[in-house]
Amino acid sequence: MDASLCDIWFELQTARIDLMKAVEARLELDLQERCQQSIARIRRDLHDHRRLLDDLVDMHAAMEQTKLFTVQRNDPQHDGMTTLVSRTTLELLQAQTQRLQETQQQLREARQSLDERRLIEQAKQLLIHRHKLEEGEAYAMLRQSAMRHSRCIEDVARRLLATAGRVQAQR
């Protein structure tokens, strides 16, 4: 083999490796940027959920403090108005009780939704760090596992985190 060809081949391969290194560096920067954007979006979502939860808690506390006063006259004379006022007060009390129950249910659902989302996010982060996945890939892996085992994604996330906790405790 001609020695001059060896030098050319070596230079070409060196240039190729240098270009591949530049591509790798660019991909790494893109990945870091996407991760930062994803983390920022998740933090905004978490902040919004916490604000909603705080609003619901405040609403619940305000409703707990609301007191109804019966507006009745203590006249021995019965003119029909006492019955009407009592009935209206009872209807108001029932409506307020129903609104309070609905608000409590909304609060429970918001808390449950937030807890489920937190579990999924923690499981995704675990997969991202352990398997060097992107966020979408980690979520797809959780979703596929849930479908494969006929479970909801929150149960898969909960089991993954529990298993990871046990493995971590054994180390």
Per-residue pLDDT of 67-125, as tens digits, reads 444 444 444 455 444 555 556 777 887 888 888 899 999 999 999 999 999 999 999 99
Polymer length in residues for the chain = 171
Arithmetic mean of pLDDT over the chain: 83
Angle subtended at Cα 29 by Cα 24 and Cα 34, rounded to the nearest 5 degrees:
125
Residues 6+ apart with CB under 8 A from 15: none
> pTM of the prediction?
0.45
Measured from the Cβ of residue 40, the count of other Cβ atoms closer than 10 Å reads: 10
